[in-house]
């Protein structure tokens, strides 16, 4: 197994911090099995043959070898939503052994697509789930992707996602990241279209030796493009989170706005939280904000709940759950919501 560099920071900083990228290697066996179920209108679903070219050449910060490996070896699914159509797609990855896959979504002009993306598994196998999602959202197209990761605790989880937003495209991403041993999540959202709009919310919950290594780049090229990142979660045990979020305002992206927020609740002295919220700007007529915070549970909240008769542990559970709950509630699928909530309660 060779060493791979994941989630490279678009603008490196002090080397001794060792935060410019994450070193990883793929866990588990070499050959992948297909254990994916895709539910979709058959008119829009087709197989994506091995070797299909990437939608775009640039996957800045992604591990090129890992992405190329998927292009060359993995079969996948192509989902093509015609203009003005309205579709819902359900994808379930069941990881008992290694999974490698690709999904390519092309959402036509004025079309609407909702994707329910459920990543789960069973067993104790040390293995790896790796997939590449590409979304090409045409003018005035709209997508909502709700992803829930409830992988078993020995499974390494690598997601690469690329989004291209044309004029007035509207994208909403929700991630609930609870499972997996090491989660390497790499997102590159390319706001090429004018007045394109994207929200990406991530909720994570880590315990034991879990790692969440998240990289997200919002590349603002289009005028009046708007992006909003929320990354929030809680860590206990020896869990570690690295968040590399970049708002990149390119020359000409006038009147664009971007915001990123990274909030981490620290539940044990042994956790580790790294935050690299970059703001890159070559255009004066933009508004860019970022905020990062890390800390313990607010004493006043704890006090309030304990004054109502909850024990400290119960009160902490309530607070952590209440932080993640609003995001879980947006999933919209009762079975998955309940599974996610059960997983949350199980962990804290």
Q: Cβ 132 to another protein, closest distance in Å?
A: 28
Q: Which stretch binds another protein (CB under 8 A): 94-102, 104-112, 189-197, 276-284?
A: 276-284
The per-residue DSSP string of 207-252 comes to -TT-EEEEEEEEEE-STT-EEEEEEEEEE-TT-EEEEEEEEEE-TT
When the beta carbons of 41 and 289 are compared against another protein, the nearer one is 289
Pairing between β-strand 112-121 and β-strand 99-107 as defined by DSSP bridges: unpaired
By CB under 8 A, tell whether 208 contacts another protein. no
Beta bridge partners of 190: 164, 219
Asked if 206 and 193 touch (Cβ cutoff 8 Å), the reply is no
Instruction: Provide the 8-state DSSP code for 21.
Output: S
Q: Which of 29, 65, 124, 268 binds another protein (CB under 8 A)?
A: 268
Q: Which of 73, 230, 290, 325 binds another protein (CB under 8 A)?
A: 290
Residue 17 CA neighbour count, 13 Å, CB half: 11
When the beta carbons of 134 and 195 are compared against another protein, the nearer one is 195
By CB under 8 A, tell whether 42 contacts another protein. no
Q: Which stretch binds another protein (CB under 8 A): 59-67, 72-80, 186-194, 281-289?
A: 281-289
Instruction: Look at residue 46 and give its three-state secondary structure.
Output: strand
Residues 6+ apart with CB under 8 A from 151: 95, 119, 120, 121, 129, 157, 179, 180
By CB under 8 A, tell whether 19 contacts another protein. yes
Q: Cβ 319 to another protein, closest distance in Å?
A: 14
By CB under 8 A, tell whether 278 contacts another protein. yes
Q: Cβ 193 to another protein, closest distance in Å?
A: 20
CA terminus-to-terminus distance, the chain: 34
By CB under 8 A, tell whether 238 contacts another protein. no
By CB under 8 A, tell whether 5 contacts another protein. no
By CB under 8 A, tell whether 47 contacts another protein. no
When the beta carbons of 38 and 348 are compared against another protein, the nearer one is 348
Task: Determine the Cα–Cα distance for residues 64 and 51; give it in Å rounded to an integer.
Answer: 15
When the beta carbons of 15 and 308 are compared against another protein, the nearer one is 15
By CB under 8 A, tell whether 267 contacts another protein. yes
Q: Cβ 206 to another protein, closest distance in Å?
A: 13
Q: Which of 271, 315, 320, 340 binds another protein (CB under 8 A)?
A: 271
By CB under 8 A, tell whether 139 contacts another protein. no
Q: Cβ 244 to another protein, closest distance in Å?
A: 10
By CB under 8 A, tell whether 308 contacts another protein. no
Rg value, the chain, Cα: 20
By CB under 8 A, tell whether 70 contacts another protein. no
- Phi-psi label, residue 113: left if phi above 0, alpha if psi -120 to 50, beta otherwise: beta
The candidate with the shortest Cα–Cα distance to 193, out of 227, 217, 145, is 227
Token match 């904000």: residue?
289
The residues that touch another protein, with contacts defined as CB under 8 A, are 11-15, 17, 19-20, 249, 251-252, 254, 264, 266-296
């Amino acid at each position: 197994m060779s060493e791979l560099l994941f989630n490279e920071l678009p603008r490196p900083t002090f080397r001794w911090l060792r935060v410019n990228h994450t070193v990883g290697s793929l866990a588990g066996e070499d050959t992948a099995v297909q254990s994916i179920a895709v539910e979709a209108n058959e008119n829009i679903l087709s197989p994506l043959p091995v070797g299909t070219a990437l939608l775009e050449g640039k996957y800045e910060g992604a591990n090129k070898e890992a992405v190329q490996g998927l292009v060359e070896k993995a079969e996948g699914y192509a989902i093509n939503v015609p203009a003005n159509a309205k579709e819902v797609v359900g994808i379930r990855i069941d990881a008992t052994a290694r999974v490698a896959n690709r999904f390519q979504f092309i959402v036509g002009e004025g079309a609407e697509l909702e994707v329910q993306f459920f990543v789960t598994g069973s067993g104790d196998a040390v293995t790896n789930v790796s997939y590449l999602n590409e979304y090409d959202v045409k003018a005035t197209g709209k997508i909502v992707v709700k992803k829930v990761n409830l992988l078993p605790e020995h499974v390494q989880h690598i997601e690469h996602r690329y989004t291209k937003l044309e004029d007035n495209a509207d994208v909403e991403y929700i991630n609930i990241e609870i499972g997996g041993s090491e989660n390497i999540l790499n997102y590159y959202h390319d706001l090429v279209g004018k007045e394109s709009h994207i929200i990406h919310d991530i909720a994570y919950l880590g315990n034991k030796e879990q790692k969440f290594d998240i990289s997200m780049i919002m590349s603002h090229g289009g005028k009046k493009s708007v992006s909003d990142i929320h990354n929030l979660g809680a860590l206990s045990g020896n869990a570690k989170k690295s968040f590399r979020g970049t708002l990149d305002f390119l020359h000409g992206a006038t009147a664009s706005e971007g915001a990123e927020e990274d909030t981490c609740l620290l539940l044990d002295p042994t956790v580790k939280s790294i935050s690299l919220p970059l703001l890159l700007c070559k255009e004066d007529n933009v508004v860019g904000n970022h905020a990062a915070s890390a800390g313990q549970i607010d004493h006043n909240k704890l006090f309030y709940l304990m004054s109502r008769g909850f024990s400290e542990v119960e009160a902490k559970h309530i607070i952590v759950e209440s932080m993640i709950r609003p995001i879980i509630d947006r999933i919209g699928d009762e079975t998955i919501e309940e599974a996610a909530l059960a997983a949350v309660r199980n962990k804290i």
